[in-house]
Amino acid sequence: MLRELYYLLFGERSTVTPECQVNKNTAPEEKNNEGMKKIDNEEKPLSDIQRLEKRYGELHEGMVIETSLQDLLLTAPRHRARTDAYDSLVKKLESDYKVKLVITSRKKNKLNKKKDE
């Protein structure tokens, strides 16, 4: 009886071809949005540091780079346009190069002004 209902709903009897079968032993392929190549966590800050050196010159101990989020997004693009997207870069610069990266954003500035009032 259930088979008859199934056939009424879905039409002809469906058959599973070998191409349609799913092998449970194979792992699914890793896909990245927009077909972009995945970069591991170690390579990303290094490429960003190279871009910063190209823009600000050689990084040296005690250097402070203060930049807006908009400018940093042009230099080292991120999918998330927020300052916390650069946390790994900030930590890498502080630990390896002793360089302080200060990122300002309009949203933080507006919040600070409201707190001061």
Distance CA(15)–CA(29), nearest Å, equals: 26
Instruction: Kindly state whether residue 18 falls inside one of the protein's structural domains.
Output: no
Q: pTM of the full predicted structure?
A: 0.56
What is the number of structural domains in the chain? 1
Instruction: Kindly state whether residue 71 falls inside one of the protein's structural domains.
Output: yes
Instruction: Kindly state whether residue 70 falls inside one of the protein's structural domains.
Output: yes
pLDDT the model gives residue 27: 45
Question: Which tens digits make up the pLDDT trace of 55-91?
Answer: 999 999 999 999 999 999 999 999 988 999 999 999 9
Closest residue by Cα to residue 68 from 8, 115, 108 = 108
pLDDT the model gives residue 59: 93
Instruction: Kindly state whether residue 19 falls inside one of the protein's structural domains.
Output: no
